[in-house]
Amino acid sequence: MHADDGVDLPVIELAHPMPGFPDEERFALVRLDEDGVLMGFRSLSREDLQFVVVPPGPFYPDYTPELDDETVAELGIDTAEDVLVLLVVHAGDSLAATTVNLRAPIVINRATRRAAQVILEDPDLPLDAPLVA
Amino acid sequence: MLVLSRRVGESIVIGDGADKVTVTVLEVRGDVVRVGIDAPRSVRVHRAELLEQLADTNATAASPSQDAVASLKDALRNRG
């Protein structure tokens, strides 16, 4: 995945809510830097709620999560090219203390603008992997 | 909370028709109980503690300060 995949999407509908945020159904994806690496996944109903997300490519080039049939159906995915995978970032006090969630990426179907935070089966994937090793 | 006693091999059924979920006790060994869950694909099944961990991780990640985002942006830019 290339950094220029970080297109802005104005209205994204979650197929099911993110754990911990049961009432947030609609988000927008906005760029936070010029390179399109850092992005904001912003709630449309709660102005103060935003997750910082990044594409895995620049940080974990080998990260290729396998989506189960249920997710593919739920998001209406027809082709892999429509799929945008983003990692939720926990911004720490420094870059070294900043982590990403590899276990539960946000998966967006750019064609239908449906998304979900998908919990992957692989128990070895950490919820708090360092953003940069 | 409904409390039921079941033996190994016995099940409980939640819901009915195409949406029903069947939970079967497969094995009991010490304080570990293995259960099999037969659910329609639209019903997501997760360990409760994983969902709690994920809710915590999401809550911790949510809405970083503008300063934190700015310094992350700088740090990534400087990294090249």
Tell whether A127 is within 8 A of chain B (Cβ): yes
User: Which residues in A lie closer than 8 A to residue B79 (C-beta atoms)?
Assistant: 95, 132
Whether A119 sits inside 8 A of B58 (CB atoms) is no
Chain A interface disruption, residue of B72, B73, B77, B79, most A CBs within 10 A: B72
- pLDDT (tens digit, 9 = 90+) per residue, A17-75? 999 999 999 999 999 988 889 999 999 999 899 999 999 999 999 999 999 988 999 99
Helix (H, G, I), strand (E, B) or coil at B74: helix
The closest of A80, A67, A78 to A116, measured between CA atoms, is A67
Please count the residue pairs, one from chain A and one from chain B, whose beta carbons lie less than 8 angstroms apart. 91
CB proximity A96 to B under 8 Å:
no
Looking at per-residue confidence, does B77 or A127 come out higher?
A: A127
**Is A70 strand, coil or helix?**
helix
Q: Closest approach of chain B CAs to the CA of A11, in angstroms?
A: 19
Spatial contact of B18 and B31, defined as CB atoms under 8 Å apart: no
pLDDT digits 0-9 by tens, B5-33: 999 999 999 999 988 999 999 999 999 99
Give the CA-trace dihedral at A54, B54, A103, B18, to 10 degrees: -120
